[in-house]
Amino acid sequence: MIILREIYIIISMIVVLSGDISSHDKEMVCIYLRDRGFSIREQNFGEDAIIGASGKGVVDIRELGLLPGVERVAATSKPYELASRETKSEDTIVTVGPVKIGGSRISVIAGPCAVESKEQIMETAARVRESGAVMLRGGAYKPRTSPYAFQGLGMQGLEYMKAAGEANNMPIVTEVVSPELAVQMRDLTDMFQIGARNMQNFELLKKVGSLGKPVLLKRGPSATMEEWLLSAEYLLASGTHDVVLCERGIRTFETYTRNTLDISAIPVVKGLSHLPVLVDPSHAVGIRAKVSPAALAAIAAGADGLTVEVHPRPDDALSDGPQSLYPEQFEKLMRDIEALAPVVGKELLRIPRPSGAGKGGALPRAAGSGSSAPEAGGDLPVAYCGESGAYAEQALNRVFGEDAPRLQTDSFKGIFDAVLGGSASAGVVPVENSLTGSVHENYDLFLRYPDIALVGELKLRIVHCLIAHERADIDSIRIVRSHPQGFAQCREFLDKHPEWALEPCTTTATAVASIAREGAIRVAAIAAEAAAKAHGLKVLREGIETNPLNYTRFAIISRRGGDTAPVPPGLGSGPPNKASLVFSVPDEPGSLFACLKIMSERGINLSKLESRPIQGKPWEYLFYADVSIPLTGELFDGVMDELKGSTVDFYHLGSYRAML
């Protein structure tokens, strides 16, 4: 019998080396590749040492993978192998100081087109920071079409911008226009920008890439997506690991707008590459009134963030005034993004100011906020219930970031125990679903753990999928597993399959994990797509929830009065705007009305009121209430004191910042 070996003709590939590979074994890998017609280059990519190989060589990938010191081989048909999603399947998150671009957050960069004076950049930085921008943009060197246009203030302008960024705890990004200037600017900027005109200035790309700093790469006005990604490849191959792509419009036959914003490029490029993608709506449309709609369209299409031009007095701007937003317009845009973000499964990134910093000094702290999250302390994990890919883990990522340490528990009580015992700095627990109501078990846990406070809230859109083994199909399914609320939220879909037996699990992700462990072919789970990816399963049906307006409120909890709970970046930097209360009232006419009247007369908005039986006391009830906190903290404190005098039992579960 003759056995034919599989031979591959490869255009490019990445050979990932093991961390303990010897210099001899590395040299043997290089010789192996050169002898088979490949040109090679060695470099580090993230935490991996790699050898990039390109050319029309012939190689047996299995044989290459068995060489000593080779951890894995990733072949790609794309000429941009380092930027290709074939090489790295998970999304890259680029870190610039305290800012993380990519993942589940929307990062907004804002500032003027050009630095015109110290006063102008200082004022702009303070205004955009107050509205929620996390990075400051501005040009010190301006490549202009006309040689007579304002070219920027040069290094002096960059020094002004650096000072403005430091004053407002904002990393800065500015354009570099030549290899020589890149070296001079390295210590003054946190992120280089390669402008559209320089996207294919390959000597500049190689020099900037070799400096190892994060780079924002704008798409050229006539560049294809492949050319754009090949420019990113130059940066990655030259040494930097952190590249962010920026779509800023392309040149078409349309003349009404400055450029044509290629919205389709966002999902296409995110499918081709693991690099994060931002959008510059200001340069894309060039018309102030059209910037905000284009920005929101970009977020809806999946952009990881925006870079927006903002000027305190656009009519007096020395560069691009007609497309620069007024600070008031930018504030409105940020509020709109915050409202839109949960619809696309993301949250607007907010970076708290350092303690004692802020506009005119320390940030205001509302009275009654003693249970809000203290500052970060240590590297303790955040606890959640379930397996990888759980909805609770998605909420954790939105609030604390994808790189936050985490602790899995097998019950909601386990979260409270971990936080109370000090093995977790904070916890994430579901408290209410928009379709099926409150998670009473967790409300009851708050009363059993009086030393635990509610310090934050996040609303997460729940999109359920039917998930099964790779070899399964919908006709083979006989059993479906999920959390009971998952069954309730997908009742209409399940009613179409009465032959399926339903098996409840602790969480939706636990149901998925059980299928992966068992290798079950006839069993499916109702859970998030993230759970399918985490456990190597496939999605049979997506969006099977009965009502698409399906949201779950997750509470962020920490130990009351402790010093280990971090300030969650996703909760913003403002004072608490919401509080949760539990109380009982005397068994007499009008007692509940009296409590509601106290709040009503003082302008306290009641957003939720629910009664629950008191355990061990038949026909007696606790009332769970969510209320808004007015800007005047003293007023809220006074209302709390009055309520305590009008109730039998009174529990302040926490004052916190509620995100949309």
* Continuous segment of H or E residues that includes residue 9: strand 8-17
* Contact present, 363 and 353 (Cβ < 8 Å): yes
Structure tokens at 575: 């004072």
- For residue 3, pLDDT beyond 50: no
Burial class of residue 551 in the structure, from the number of CB atoms within 10 Å of its CB (0-12 exposed, 13-18 middle, 19+ buried): middle
User: Which DSSP category does 342 fall into?
Assistant: G
The pTM assigned to this predicted structure is 0.73
* Contact present, 226 and 244 (Cβ < 8 Å): no
pLDDT per position as a tens digit, 379-388: 789 999 988 9
Residue 220 has a pLDDT of 96
Check if 552 is active-site: yes
| Mean model confidence pLDDT for the chain | 87
Q: How far is CA 643 from the centre of its chain?
A: 39
> Is pLDDT larger for residue 54 or for residue 91?
91
Question: Using only C-alpha atoms, what is the Rg of the chain?
Answer: 28
Mean pLDDT, residues 283-311: 96
Residue 628 has a pLDDT of 87
Report how far residue 411's alpha carbon sits from residue 418's, in angstroms, rounded to the nearest whole number: 11
Count Cβ neighbours within 10 Å for each residue of 323-342 and write b for 16 or more, e otherwise. bbbbbebbbebbeebbebbb
Between helices 155-167 and 118-131, what is the axis angle to 10°?
A: 40
Report how far residue 100's alpha carbon sits from residue 107's, in angstroms, rounded to the nearest whole number: 8
What domains are there in the chain, each with its CATH number?
8-76 (3.30.70.1140), 96-348 (3.20.20.70), 382-460+551-658 (3.40.190.10), 465-542 (3.40.190.10)
Instruction: Give the pLDDT band (50/70/90) at residue 612.
Output: confident
* Range name among 128-132, 148-152, 240-244 with the lowest pLDDT average: 148-152
| Phi, psi dihedral angles at 290 (to 5 degrees) | -100, -5
pLDDT per position as a tens digit, 459-469: 898 999 999 99
* Range name among 401-415, 539-553, 618-632 with the lowest pLDDT average: 618-632
Alpha-carbon dihedral 432, 436, 441, 444, rounded to 10 degrees: 60
Report how far residue 203's alpha carbon sits from residue 559's, in angstroms, rounded to the nearest whole number: 54
Residue 452 has a pLDDT of 93
- For residue 48, pLDDT beyond 80: no
pLDDT per position as a tens digit, 232-286: 999 998 889 899 999 999 999 999 999 999 999 999 999 999 999 999 999 999 9
pLDDT per position as a tens digit, 232-242: 999 998 889 89
Out of 412, 487, 554, 636, which one is annotated catalytic? 554
Residue 45 has a pLDDT of 66
- Tell me the three state secondary structure of residue 554: strand
- For residue 352, pLDDT beyond 80: no
* Continuous segment of H or E residues that includes residue 426: strand 426-433
User: Which DSSP category does 84 fall into?
Assistant: B
Residue 399 has a pLDDT of 86
Between helices 265-272 and 225-238, what is the axis angle to 10°?
A: 40
Residue 631 has a pLDDT of 64
Burial class of residue 436 in the structure, from the number of CB atoms within 10 Å of its CB (0-12 exposed, 13-18 middle, 19+ buried): middle
* Contact present, 534 and 467 (Cβ < 8 Å): no
- Tell me the three state secondary structure of residue 110: strand
DSSP string, 240-286: ---EEEEE--B--S--SSSSB--TTHHHHHHHHBSS-EEE-HHHHH-
Structure tokens at 515: 């299928």
Mean pLDDT, residues 590-618: 88
Comparing CA positions, the residue from 154, 176, 172, 175 lying closest to residue 163 is: 172
Residue 353 has a pLDDT of 65
* Continuous segment of H or E residues that includes residue 159: helix 155-167
User: Which DSSP category does 77 fall into?
Assistant: S
pLDDT per position as a tens digit, 474-485: 999 999 999 998
Out of 240, 510, 552, 647, which one is annotated catalytic? 552
